[in-house]
Structure 1
Amino acid sequence: MAAPLRIGLISDTHGLLRPEALDFLQGVDHIVHGGDIGGPDILERLGAIAPVSVVRGNNDTAVWAQSIPETVRLEIGGIALFAIHDLKALRPHLGPDPAALGVRVVVSGHSHKPACSERGGVLYVNPGSAGRRRFSLPIAVGELLIEAGQVRARLVTLA
């Protein structure tokens, strides 16, 4: 039996890519960055590990980030994922029922708070912030494990 697809989730690096985050992401099949990247070097370093899908965060305002989309929709292992930086901006893109559009997972960032919940058949995952610590929030990353048409998420505190 084949191993599940492993999708690394990272967000809010704000120009800091911690060694612990890089270690966690080793061996993933794909990486989704939920925005507030902080610089093109972050994407280059992540891209050396696996293909990267990325959305622009509210702090990604420099010229290098202008071509990065605000949202990304992709299919991996038969699972439709939608990424957006701020979950509060989701409704104009997917309406009130993302599942009706075939979306199974929504990945976001922005709040710096790791969170995972399922509503209406859609898994909402925010890996938290892997960059600079904000207030007393944890430094965290996440992953999606996709196998036989099923998906589950795991959040990991790094420091």
Structure 2
Amino acid sequence: MKKILLLSDTHGYLDDTILKRANEVDEIWHAGDIGNLRVTDQLAKIKPIRAVYGNIDDAKTRLQFPEHNEFEIEGVKVFITHIGGYPGRYNPKIRPLLEKSKADLFICGHSHILKVMRDKRLDLLHMNPGAIGIHGFHKVRTMLSFEVNKGSIENLIVLEYPR
């Protein structure tokens, strides 16, 4: 079993709230718009981090992290990208990649809108943790915590903080 902290759209922002939660998990996953490598560098000092770059990220960030990150953990195939859409409205560039990947869990960011929903057609769970940074239109800062255990996603918690 692995405990995961899933965040996105930090836009260079990191605070004690995020760091506290990072200490409580086994891995940190970042779905893009990191904003500054100091964010991922500091998080990586706490726990292993898996991340993708987002549309605001600079060339240095794009050299360090991929556009798409596919991996398997605890029997769950994961596909992470920044701009992905959601079931029924996937980014046209992402849909064929998703179909090919046969992912169990599809994660993206970008919208600043937290969503967790099932895609029955592709037989996967979609997660967007919203935005934990302070830049953007969102009124509440959000991220997700969950466990990956023997092929399933368990104990999903929505973490909300005032902006």
TM-score, reference length from structure 1:
0.87
Give the distance between the partners of 2:111 and 2:148, measured in 1 at CA.
Answer: 25
1:57-76 paired onto structure 2 within 5 Å:
57-60=54-57, 62-67=58-63, 68-76=65-73
Q: Which has the higher strand share?
A: 2
SS at structure 2 position matched to 1:41: helix
Q: Percent identity?
A: 27
| CA 138–63 in structure 1, closer or farther in 2 if over 3 Å, else same | same
- Select the residue among 124, 127, 136 that pairs with 1:125: 127
**Cα RMSD for the two superposed structures:** 2.0
Unaligned runs of 5+ in 2: none
* CA drift at 1:134: 2.7
Structure 1 residue runs of 5 or longer lacking an equivalent are none
Moved more, 74-83 or 128-137: 128-137
Give the paired residue count. 154
Q: Which one-letter code corresponds to 1:92 in the other structure?
A: K
Q: Give secondary structure in 1 for the equivalent of 2:140.
A: coil
- Asked whether the equivalents of residues 112 and 137 of structure 1 are also in contact (C-alpha less than 8 Å), the reply is no
Aligned partners of 2:91 and 2:104: how far apart in 1?
14
CA–CA separation in structure 1 for the residues paired with 2:97 and 2:11 = 30
Q: Structure 1: how far apart are the matches of 2:34 and 2:138?
A: 20
Query: What TM-score, normalized to structure 2?
Result: 0.85
**Displaced runs of 4 or more, over 6 A:** none
Assess, with a 3 A threshold, how the Cα gap between structure 1 residues 7 and 136 changes in structure 2: closer, same or farther.
Answer: closer
| Amino acid of the structure 2 residue aligned with 1:65 | T
